[in-house]
Structure 1
Amino acid sequence: MKIIFLDFDGVMDTAYYDHVLSKLRLPGNDTFGTVFDPNCVQNLKEIIDKTGADIVVSSSWKHFMTYKDFLDMWEFRGLPGFVTDVTPTPDIRRNRGDEIDAWLDECNVECQYVIIDDLDATNFNDHQLPRLLVVNPFNGLDESTAERAIQILNQ
């Protein structure tokens, strides 16, 4: 199984695209929240097309959206791939890496995975760092990051 642990803010929702929408006086939100940068969506599609990976949402959006909300958003926005699950929210605040580890432990299936986030490495566990791709929140998921994600997932 191949999994993309995907953050949204700074990865799919970029400062660049927010600026473009503002400049054009277009809405930056829809029914589900902040709209995603189409370049990031295209790069996510490239990863999925070349790896067959599914998505597990690791974004903080999970604190105010249900799994069904994510499925509905994916369909409404015509986003690529399939959202398989959401990382668990711990009772005690831990780092995002712990949430990913908890999901992997619960999954009980061998996973080839990549983490795409704009949080720095201190938010993840040491053993995850070779699979962590930290993006610049201005541009988010760019072509270079997509290429690296494809390499990691297809190892």
Structure 2
Amino acid sequence: MSGLTWTYRTTGANVAGFRYLWMKTVTRFDPANHCARCLVGAYEKSFGTRMAVNEAISAAYPAGTVLYLCGVSAPYRWEKNFHLAARVVPGKTIFAPLYNGDVLDIEGLEEIPFDDQAAREQHSSLGEAFLSCRNFQFGVHHFGRS
């Protein structure tokens, strides 16, 4: 098992500015859904809007595990939402500034870049609710047509 350690850095007393904030393993893609439901896998219970801030939190994941992190801003503004697709890689670190000035530091992850091109080419008939959803975009990009 590889170690994954994250710290939510803030000047506040808790995580603020997100209605939802989650991390989950991604083992497969369900193109019949968008948002969190299209990425199939288990949620990390110690990551979210109620997690401790300014202290390191660790969890064990095998190297190569694919994770997706998503934060829905409150109040909702699509451009302020947080999205990160990543793979567990020992020795790598992600420094993710958030729209509210807070920062998420994650040791043991390497970003998996993606865009909307594959989703728009392979699922153009589904409409903007699917095609603008970054969770869906990643699912199509990473897993291909399902």
TM-score range, shorter chain: under 0.3
Structure ranking higher on relative contact order (CA contacts 8 Å, 6+ apart): 1
Which protein is richer in strand relative to its size? 2
Which protein is richer in helix relative to its size? 1
> TM-score scaled to structure 2, two decimals?
0.27
